[in-house]
Amino acid sequence: MLYVVETRKDVETAARDLEAAVKRNKFGVLHVHDLQKTLKEKGVDFPNACRILEVCNPQRAQQVLTNNMAVNMALPCRISVYREGGTTKIGMIRPTALLALFPDAVSLKPIAEQVEQETMQMIDEAVR
């Protein structure tokens, strides 16, 4: 269900490298959430750095949403870069696992598999 890899990079460097990999793979970064910063602004001292990138390929999103509008609840894809137990990790929920939440969307499985392979490639590129 999850795809998570470890890297020796710090969160900031790994997030920057992930953003570059996303763009190289013809996806776009819609937004980057800095979870630690946001929580601090809300008065919560959260010790772990965490950046959440919302990524999207507009053509694939259009294909998916034209077929099944309810899948919008699983979009855009989110890839997290975070610090846990002294280690930086990059991970996501696999698109194929998310698609399983939509029983009427079985015809979208090939697209979900393709997006999953592409996003895993982006993560693997960012780790190096």
Q: Average pLDDT of 36-53?
A: 96
The DSSP letter of residue 48 is: S
DSSP helix, strand, coil percent of the chain (3-state; round to 5):
50, 25, 20
Q: Average pLDDT of 45-57?
A: 97
Beta strands 50-56 and 2-7, pairing class: unpaired
Tens of pLDDT, residues 4-29: 999 999 999 999 999 999 999 999 99
pLDDT at position 63:
94
d(CA 103, CA 60): 19
Tell me which residue has tokens 């696999």.
Answer: 94
Tell me the torsion sign for CA atoms 128, 20, 93, 46. positive
d(CA 9, CA 21): 15
Mean pLDDT, the chain, rounded, equals: 96
Q: Which two tokens stand for residue 20?
A: 């570059």
Question: Containing domain of residue 23, as a range?
Answer: 2-127
Q: How many domains does the chain have?
A: 1
Tell me which residue has tokens 């598999």.
Answer: 113
CATH of the domain at 52: 3.30.310.70
Tens of pLDDT, residues 63-86: 999 999 999 999 999 999 999 999
